[in-house]
Amino acid sequence: MNLNRRNFLNAAATAAVALPFIKIGQTSAYAKEFHGFPFQFTPFTRELPIPQPLGGTPLSPAPGTPAASVGSEAVFHGIAPEFSPSHPTHRPDWDVHTLKTHTLEMRKAVHEYVPGVYTECFTYNGLVPGPLIRARFGQPMVVRTTNNLDVETSVHLHGGHGPAHSDGHPVFYVMPGMTRDYYYPHIVPRVSPGGAFDFSESPSTMWYHDHGNDVTGHNVAHGLAGMCKFTDPLEENLMSTNVLPDADGPYDVPLVLQDQALNADGSIFYDPLDHDGRLGNLFIANGIVQPKFTVERRKYRFRLLDGATARFMTLRLSNGQPFLQLGNDSWLLPNAVWRPEITLSMAKRADVIIDFTNAPDELYLENIMQQTSGRGPDGIDRTKPIRLVKFVVTGTRPTNDVTVTGGTPLRPNIPIRDSEITARRSFRFERSNGAWVINGDFYSPFRADAVPQLNQAEEWTLENKSGGWMHPIHMHLEAHQIVQYTGKFRADVWLNRKSDTAILEDNGKVRLRMKFRTFSGPFSFHCHNNEHEDMRMMKNFDPRPAGQPSVLNGRFWNVPQEISGIPLSVVRRNPELFH
């Protein structure tokens, strides 16, 4: 599979003219032809599965020791150098709580998206979606991740603030049969270098998913995705004062929304040469097709994620009641806001309260965004709702329900001011040679496309002039603030608030501001239509102190192995991956 796509890409990168051997949108000889879904099932019969937190596991050898460093037998890819308390980036105030350690194994497992249909998936610890990662500010975490699949992987904690080694850079792989220690310090950026932590930047709802170069879409479509809840003292206070439900209780529910396509034998349909974006005809919530969720007559918090590879969604409730939106992407909003409909692109999250207090006994979470091509959605049609989850409401009203309502203050927002901007950059997102380019270039994992100065703010303009194609653009490392958005899905909760994924509509334009703090790179930014991303709609940025060059200068072996986690001997032996 990956070789097919890589051969195509290698040819595309060198071709001066459009490639003759694949027509865009044509099913490749590799893939089976998709005939739709031949199985019968009754929707809304199985109860919604709730992802459970990853249990703690002691690690031996201990992270960061010589026996767990780059090239070692136990942890071949080592751990981020920032893990060491003596690393200049690692400050004593990072470690408020003791280290939490986990193991995560990527392996094949049989999963029932549809009752009675047994589908071989790629999983984290045997689960689709993967286990919940439960994180707290100031509690460092090491997730010892082993790849027991036959394809290289890379794990991205989406919406977090961590070192390059553990960010899931597309070529900082976990090679098949190998292990990497992903170190998450779980800190937030500082107000100023060496200053206090800026708790306006604390994330709440993150997710993690595969990010392997060329194979992200394939790996995510096969199941490699999971949720992450993060709390800090501010949000824990909102929970202990009964404004929000307890993050660890039954009323705070991660909800991963995806589509899926299965072949007649129950296997996953995936065409690696579909460059438009993969759409499925099954609607999946927390890993199963159209579940029901039995709820009490009270307020629930839902962490809604569009975890599809190419499907946009506009969500509403079937009885017309609005959502109370708490957060956009990783971050809580300054105030909770009522919203009748919420549009999500791939990778975007909406953190919401659904109040079942006065709801009918049955209602549905619906998607009213119509989409027939991976290129982008056709538009909203309120007369053709697609039912995603059925809620069955039971019981009597509680006397102690959470108090959050429209206008409740949640998390302060500090805008990035004009006067802080030290550089401006522009990026054009286009089609070329049957694949995808930014400013005319196919992605090279070994080229620094932007080297922002560490601790400075920049303003970037993203433009999409290729009509008909939509590109949700995800920036790694930090939140960005959208100051201008041109497009029909424009929402107030995106403007001058924090986001990590900005929808770039056809003929759309987004102007955003971002700071680059704490960690030097390399990090990536890219389209989160996974098929566009795999077809090279991606770039690297590498924040550096003033005057310091990027570690990316054309060849993988220029990147210090402590940063990439890849021993140089492997780089030279694998021209397929590290040319």
| Shortest distance (Å) from residue 253 CB to Cu ion | 30
- What is the number of other CB atoms lying within 10 angstroms of the CB of residue 7? 11
Alpha carbon of 154 to those of 161, 242, 447, 542, 548: distances in Å?
16, 38, 19, 18, 27
Q: Look up residue 28 and give its amino acid.
A: S
| Shortest distance (Å) from residue 331 CB to Cu ion | 23
Q: Tell me whether residue 470 or residue 577 sits nearer to Cu ion (CB atom).
A: 470
Q: Which of 292, 532, 536, 539 binds Cu ion (CB under 5 A)?
A: 532
Q: Give the Cα separation of 427 and 226 in Å (integer).
A: 30
| Cross-strand bridge partners of residue 53 | 132
Q: Tell me whether residue 147 or residue 529 sits nearer to Cu ion (CB atom).
A: 529
Nearest to 523 by CA among 138, 89, 161: 161
Please identify, among the stretches 6-14, 102-110, 417-425, 526-534, the one whose residues bind Cu ion according to the rule CB under 5 A: 526-534
Alpha carbon of 391 to those of 79, 185, 299, 300, 317: distances in Å?
43, 37, 13, 12, 10
Q: Is 451 in the site for Cu ion (CB under 5 A)?
A: no
Please identify, among the stretches 23-31, 280-288, 532-540, 545-553, the one whose residues bind Cu ion according to the rule CB under 5 A: 532-540
Q: Is 529 in the site for Cu ion (CB under 5 A)?
A: yes
Q: Look up residue 262 and give its amino acid.
A: L
Binding mask 536-565 for Cu ion (x = CB under 5 A): ------------------------------
Please identify, among the stretches 106-114, 233-241, 481-489, 522-530, the one whose residues bind Cu ion according to the rule CB under 5 A: 522-530
How is residue 32 annotated by DSSP? P
Q: Is 471 in the site for Cu ion (CB under 5 A)?
A: yes
Q: Give the Cα separation of 197 and 202 in Å (integer).
A: 9
Q: Give the Cα separation of 554 and 490 in Å (integer).
A: 38
For residues 168 and 211, the answer to whether their CB atoms sit within 8 Å is yes
| Shortest distance (Å) from residue 228 CB to Cu ion | 24
| Shortest distance (Å) from residue 37 CB to Cu ion | 26
| Shortest distance (Å) from residue 526 CB to Cu ion | 8
Q: Is 301 in the site for Cu ion (CB under 5 A)?
A: no
| Shortest distance (Å) from residue 529 CB to Cu ion | 4
Place of tokens 């392996």: 107
Please identify, among the stretches 167-175, 315-323, 392-400, 469-477, the one whose residues bind Cu ion according to the rule CB under 5 A: 469-477
Q: Give the Cα separation of 301 and 351 in Å (integer).
A: 7
For residues 174 and 147, the answer to whether their CB atoms sit within 8 Å is yes
| Shortest distance (Å) from residue 506 CB to Cu ion | 10
Cis link prior to 522 (omega < 30° from 0)?
A: yes
* Strand-strand pairing, 225-231 and 205-210: antiparallel
- Listed in sequence order, the residues at least 6 apart from 198 whose beta carbon sits closer than 8 Å to its beta carbon are 188, 189, 190, 191, 414
Nearest to 460 by CA among 419, 416, 424: 424
Please identify, among the stretches 67-75, 264-272, 442-450, 523-531, the one whose residues bind Cu ion according to the rule CB under 5 A: 523-531
Q: Tell me whether residue 78 or residue 508 sits nearer to Cu ion (CB atom).
A: 508
Q: Tell me whether residue 228 or residue 437 sits nearer to Cu ion (CB atom).
A: 437
HSE-CB of 352 using CA atoms within 13 angstroms: 26
Q: Look up residue 524 and give its amino acid.
A: S
Please identify, among the stretches 43-51, 168-176, 471-479, 540-548, the one whose residues bind Cu ion according to the rule CB under 5 A: 471-479
Q: Tell me whether residue 224 or residue 310 sits nearer to Cu ion (CB atom).
A: 310
| Shortest distance (Å) from residue 513 CB to Cu ion | 22
Q: Tell me whether residue 179 or residue 524 sits nearer to Cu ion (CB atom).
A: 524
Structure tokens belonging to residue 461: 């303009």
Q: Which of 178, 310, 527, 535 binds Cu ion (CB under 5 A)?
A: 527
| Shortest distance (Å) from residue 151 CB to Cu ion | 22
**Helices and strands in the chain, H and E counts:** 6, 32
Q: Tell me whether residue 165 or residue 532 sits nearer to Cu ion (CB atom).
A: 532
| Shortest distance (Å) from residue 471 CB to Cu ion | 3
Q: CA torsion sign, 230 to 232 to 235 to 239?
A: positive
Please identify, among the stretches 87-95, 213-221, 320-328, 530-538, the one whose residues bind Cu ion according to the rule CB under 5 A: 530-538
Q: Tell me whether residue 408 or residue 529 sits nearer to Cu ion (CB atom).
A: 529
Total residues in contact with Cu ion, by rule CB under 5 A: 4
For residues 550 and 451, the answer to whether their CB atoms sit within 8 Å is yes
The DSSP line for 319-367 is T-PPEEEEEETTEEEEEEEEES-EEE-TT-EEEEEEE-TT--SEEEEEE
| Shortest distance (Å) from residue 217 CB to Cu ion | 11
Please identify, among the stretches 84-92, 140-148, 463-471, 539-547, the one whose residues bind Cu ion according to the rule CB under 5 A: 463-471
Q: Tell me whether residue 436 or residue 523 sits nearer to Cu ion (CB atom).
A: 436
Q: Tell me whether residue 105 or residue 441 sits nearer to Cu ion (CB atom).
A: 441
Q: Tell me whether residue 127 or residue 527 sits nearer to Cu ion (CB atom).
A: 527
Q: Is 348 in the site for Cu ion (CB under 5 A)?
A: no
Q: Give the Cα separation of 396 and 357 in Å (integer).
A: 8
Please name the residue ranges forming H helices in 442-516. Answer: none
* Strand-strand pairing, 133-136 and 501-504: unpaired
| Shortest distance (Å) from residue 198 CB to Cu ion | 31
| Shortest distance (Å) from residue 160 CB to Cu ion | 22
Q: Tell me whether residue 75 or residue 310 sits nearer to Cu ion (CB atom).
A: 310
Q: Give the Cα separation of 323 and 337 in Å (integer).
A: 8
Q: Give the Cα separation of 467 and 356 in Å (integer).
A: 41
Please identify, among the stretches 67-75, 258-266, 455-463, 528-536, the one whose residues bind Cu ion according to the rule CB under 5 A: 528-536
Q: Tell me whether residue 178 or residue 527 sits nearer to Cu ion (CB atom).
A: 527
Q: Tell me whether residue 236 or residue 430 sits nearer to Cu ion (CB atom).
A: 430
List residues binding Cu ion (CB under 5 A): 471, 527, 529, 532
